[in-house]
Structure 1
């Protein structure tokens, strides 16, 4: 046997798989109790996986029996893949021969445990081999290797269902018993009882997002000097006051000493300048001493290493959470300073998209809220109205109004001019009449059309194919997304001619300065213009996006305070809205704003 097979077979027990499938066909009433514990990939043989998947489909139609199974496989041309009618009869025989009539439930449970146990072993072998192969790669960083290994183990853990299902009666009993743990108060005063949400300390913010939910990526964005870092520190202080948890702060811009000074200023209400220069009297020193003793009782970790990679942040966060389970909030300042170790990413937009996706997965993996601060792009500086929009989080890529966009309407596919979209498909305003407006909304295919004035470049690919886009708009080239300003003549494009040859750019030239439109298409990240796939970039990874805006900064009565408008422009699991906070820059303090 050893001379035939170089390596031993993966852990498996196909006999147990056949017996379990046979029992399901003989006693269909047992199947609802098996489904929660067994998934199709748990089976070793592919034919058993196919049979189990089809059993689930038949069970949904309440027609589970051997005849229906045979007919269903035959109609879907799958009968010959599993071994024909002989395979079905053999499975039924196995179920009849090995079935124990005395303790059927116990016997089924043992079969499930055998199948699950072997599946776990196969997963560990598979991911273990992947880790070994990764370790042989020379240029891979240790952070990335650790993250990948922990990711594989995390997948293995999540793939396996819980050991037992709780009955409805038990759930109700637990709910009734847990009422003793609730602090009943006046119904007119809203309170948060869910420990999965950490109070932010701001009443209006908690009303909108119900605190800082676990497993979600929260983005705080705004123009420079709006107080993004100060707001994040205030959130951390409020969480520390309400919940006895640990906080990890990645400061890529400020030093740890600066963060400590801001933290002390927030608690003591002493100006940051006095704390930094140590210009303090006896009472202020006593106040700081008291606060420092209080802070020492909390778990606060500050990492001020600049220019770190996303792999380093992921590695450090997982390691810290593993060693200190009380870490329940991570703050990163800020997004645009995070680097990547991937050489294949050749533009910053792809790099930032990769980083935000990794941060989202990190928040889900650790099951804690992750707050990331972010800058806005330069489009906001070209507008008279400086109030931030969701599109200000991304690099704007715009299309000339003369372009034709491919739109699918019912079963027909048509090319529609952007300038004519206003006349069709439930759009009630014409684009050429709203140059002074910023957003045009309508209810069907395109979610937003943003208007800008930018320089247009003409991209000639074929004699009859031209594309009019801005310098920084992305289109899909032969292998990857590419910016317009990063391509040169004779650059391959994802388009073929009549001879099925890859087309190349023939000419790139400046066209004019014109009105352009930024299309926000829901559910998709790309669109088609002149048979060329263009990118439709949207801020998708964040669960909650907070924008800071100082609307009346020039009219404020006092120089040492500001009224900051906070807009929740995205909330994946709740409402959006806005509210105001009072900001005292000298003391690094945010408080709820009371309307007069």
Structure 2
């Protein structure tokens, strides 16, 4: 027993005495090169940030220099002196004279990228060591409230953040960095056709209202059964995956310049049923005929060609039922790491399980799930589209158009979502109001109303945090479970003329 205690104490001493990996010389060389030649900064800005420096004084020098260079101002020992002469850490190193020594000792700007990569890699190693100690410490504490499965998910989340961002905890960021990110998003939208800041859904009027699907947004798509929630979600997913094109992004990295890689969690339907829906839309063969195999030769040929085209589409389906929100997040992270991920669909929210069985009450469970989905959107920096059921109170009203209060367990859904949309097809309700054949006048009026409503659907935007609310009209072809852009009366002439 004493031997074990001695061994543990010795291990702790060795660990504490262990010097965290770093290179003060590399940091000095890099800063010196930047202060001597500001153009060097552009070559290293995509590799490192102030948070990667081991010496906190070096981190502050880099941050001030970066802020000045971003504003097209000179960053030199003389100009930085005014900003840093009261810095206590710099005083210990010799005050503003240290800045001059850094610039004077810089050998060459030729190797700056190598120095930057070295500083970044050493910072990641330090984070890994810290994370390893933290995981080991938590695992050693046998606590009833901390399940091993939860610890694995948490460890995976932290490691994912580290692999993506170079830091396990991002913490606070300067306003300058946040403003730069906002300007970059606006610039990308300005340059892109159609002026979309987000990923295009392939439905023009919807894109115009939403500005596309924005990164880190949680979008709720709700509706009563048979309104076409899943159909609209699969249409959007297929449109995004079909348009996928990879290329260089503004920050210099590679990624989706059009469309995107799509993840689809289908908790209600099997992957095969979902694929059949997508194939029905793409091949224009009714889904019930696909299920029965009842197709003409021409239809079967279209079906096979559509299947070949879809093979290359980056649309990934997971049909595991009753997934806990923690597992859903872990699988989304894994997909992003292995194949990339630009948009995530969840069909549907009420079928996701909370992470812990200890959650009391259905409202609290749904709250945990919506908060988890919003956390996935922010962590993976992607739009998450979650489908949701509506309560039966819609059916009791004269006007069947849904509203925010119709959301089941609505408080948390309404609060956590950035966008709430409702799918509504009046044709569905009108069809059930068919009068008896003996009442010819009522039948004539009913048929007239049905003709006006036939093939039309509405997407009602009930909440949008960054844009307008309102209604988007879409076309709906029930045979192919397909939503599309609706030709307006003033566009009819151009459409007929073939424009």
Normalising by structure 2, we get a TM-score of 0.64
| Residues 321 and 54 of structure 1: CA distance in aligned 2, closer, same or farther (over 3 Å) | closer
Q: Distance in 1 between matches of 2:195 and 2:404?
A: 31
Match of 1:324 among 313, 331, 339: 339
**1:119-165 Cα deviation digits (max 9, x unpaired):** 4432221123234445666531555543343234334259699xxx9
Determine helix, strand or coil for the equivalent of 2:461: strand
The CA distance in 2 between the partners of 1:89 and 1:48, in whole Å, is 11
> RMSD of aligned C-alpha atoms?
5.0
Deviation at 1:118, TM superposition (A): 4.7
Quote the residue 1:264 is aligned against. 279
Q: Name which of structure 1's ranges 352-361 and 130-139 shifts more when overlaid on structure 2.
A: 130-139
Residues 419 and 461 of structure 2 are in contact (CA less than 8 Å); yes or no, is this contact kept in structure 1?
A: yes
The aligned counterpart of 2:231 is 230
Cα pair distance change 1:577/1:288, threshold 3 Å: same
Matched, 1:6 2:6: no
Shift of 1:209: 2.5
User: Which residue in 2 is equivalent to 1:443?
Assistant: none
SS of the counterpart of 1:6? Answer: helix
Partner of 2:475: 582
Which residue among 136, 146, 151 is the counterpart of 2:161?
A: 151
Q: Does 1:336 align with 2:350?
A: yes
Q: What is the distance in 2 between the residues matched to 1:128 and 1:281?
A: 61
Which residue is equivalent to 2:256? none
Query: How far did residue 253 of structure 1 move?
Result: 0.8
- Whether 1:121 aligns to 2:135 is no
Contact 2:32/2:105, CA 8 A, preserved across alignment: no
Q: 1:348 to 1:48 in 2, by over 3 A?
A: farther
> In 2, Cα distance between the equivalents of 1:241 and 1:58?
43
Give runs of aligned pairs for residues 132-171 of structure 1, distance below 5 A.
132-133=136-137, 139-140=148-149, 142-143=152-153, 145-156=155-166
Q: Which has the higher helix share?
A: 2
**C-alpha contact (below 8 Å) 2:33/2:106 kept by paired residues:** no
Pair 1:564-2:457 in alignment: yes
* TM-superposed deviation, 1:227: 0.8
Which SS does the other structure have where 1:539 is aligned?
helix
Does residue 276 in structure 1 map to residue 270 in structure 2?
Answer: no
**In structure 2, how many angstroms separate the alpha carbons of the residues matched to 1:243 and 1:55?**
38
**Alignment partners' CA distance in 2, 1:11 and 1:201:** 49
> Which residue of structure 1 aligns with residue 180 of structure 2?
none
Aligned match of 1:374: 388
Contact 2:325 2:354 in 1 (8 A): yes
Q: In structure 1, the residue corresponding to 2:263 is in which secondary structure? A: strand
Aligned length: 415
Q: By percentage of residues, which structure has more strand?
A: 1
User: 1:284: Cα distance to partner?
Assistant: 3.2
In 2, Cα distance between equivalents of 1:346 and 1:558: 49
The match for 2:360 is 346
Aligned pairs for 1:182-581 (under 5 A) are 191-192=193-194, 197-243=198-244, 246-325=261-340, 328-377=342-391, 380=394, 384-393=398-407, 395=409, 537=412, 539-551=414-426, 553-554=429-430, 556-557=449-450, 561-581=454-474
Work out the CA distance in 2 between the residues paired with 1:237 and 1:282.
25
* Cα distance between partner residues in 1 of 2:347 and 2:94: 63
Larger Rg: 1
Q: 1:108 to 1:257 in 2, by over 3 A?
A: closer
Check conservation: 1:222, 1:547, Cα contact below 8 A: yes
Give the Cα separation in 2 of the matches to 1:305 and 1:341.
15
Q: Residues of 1 paired with 2:383 and 2:83: CA distance?
A: 49
**TM-fit CA distance, 1:296:** 2.9
* TM-fit CA distance, 1:54: 10
